[in-house]
Amino acid sequence: MQTVAYKTADVDGLNIFFREAGPKDAQTLLLLHGFPSAGHMFRDLIPRLASEFHVVAPDLPGFGQSDMPDRGSFRYTFANIAKIVARFTEVIRVHRFAAYVFDYGAPIGFRLAAQYPARIAGIVSQNGNAYADGLSDSWKPIQSYWEHPTDANRNALRILLTPETTRWQYTHGVADASQVSPDGYTLDNFYLARPGADEVQLDLFGDYKSNVELYPEFQAYFRKYQPPLLAVWGRNDPFFLPAGAEAFKRDLMHAEVRLLETGHFALETHCDEIAAAIRGFLTQNP
């Protein structure tokens, strides 16, 4: 059993909470979580990898145990959060790493990769999208907000922040919902219920448009640098379709794609399979 340390780093005045395990002289895997979660979504994965790899899982600003600065002093955009994550890796002295990107973690990780290609040793994309092919019809209400950022369209998205929707994200597409621990979505709902958290998340819904606009830039990065990439995907994800995983093969000659019979939060039901796939991937791509 590997000990997991729970730490906080001062990143230009922001307290960024993170989990860390494994030998620091081993390959580093940076775990970037998605909405509406935090680094706790990797609670089962980290112990499965830490005997061989240095694993780091930060909570993004506004999520989990990291600071949630006031919206008047901090702009909740993906570009801004990516800058914080880049500085976080510098503060903790991680200069080259493989990135596990999930959901929101994908556009953040892909921004880092496109801007700092020499830092990226490889990419594990678990339902982390970079192609229009991967966007399902579930995005239509959010896309309406992008096109018409009215108060009515913003408020229509509040249903996505309810406890029922969070639980649905975890259980949709899972063959047996009893396999999904309530710990994850219950903790997510606790964080979502904090004062001001709803407005932070609505800001990020609106800014997600900037990620889609960067898809061509991400794809150009893939074509130019050919980073090793493993796409391990819950095929029943209601947000990101399997076509988004297969699309990596268009730009990456050696992309490996594995589709699992589960939903969006694939680690909740297929952690062993994903850990084994990552272990093989990182061993083959040191």
Q: Does 192 map to a domain?
A: no
Q: Which residues lie closer than 8 Å to 243 by C-beta, 6 or more apart? A: 131, 133, 134
Which residues, other chains included, contact 105 with Cβ-Cβ below 8 Å and sequence gap of 6+? 31, 32, 33, 34, 60, 99, 128
* Confidence (pTM): 0.97
pLDDT tens profile 75-116: 999 999 999 999 999 999 999 999 999 999 999 999 999 999
Q: Which ranges of the chain does DSSP label H, i.e. alpha helix?
A: 45-49, 78-91, 105-115, 140-147, 151-156, 163-171, 182-192, 197-213, 215-225, 242-246, 248-251, 267-284
- Whether 198 is in a domain gets the answer no
Does residue 187 fall inside a structural domain?
A: no
**193 within some domain:** no
**Distance between first and last Cα of the chain:** 23
Is 259 among the domain residues? yes
Q: Which of 40, 54, 172, 264 is catalytic?
A: 264
User: Range of 31's domain?
Assistant: 5-136+211-284
Residue 72: predicted pLDDT: 93
Peptide bond before residue 36 is cis, with ω within 30 degrees of 0: yes
221: CATH: 3.40.50.1820
The tens digit of pLDDT for each residue in 46-67 reads: 999 999 999 999 999 999 999 9
| Cα–Cα distances in angstroms (integers) from residue 187 to residues 9, 132, 134, 167, 285, in the given order | 22, 31, 28, 11, 34
Domain count, the chain: 1
User: What pLDDT sits at residue 285?
Assistant: 83
Provide the pLDDT for residue 286: 78
In this structure, what token pair is assigned to residue 95? Answer: 């200069």
Q: Does a structural domain hold residue 229?
A: yes
264 as an active site residue: the answer is yes
> Is it the case that residue 258 has pLDDT exceeding 70?
yes
Tokens for 283, please give them: 């061993």
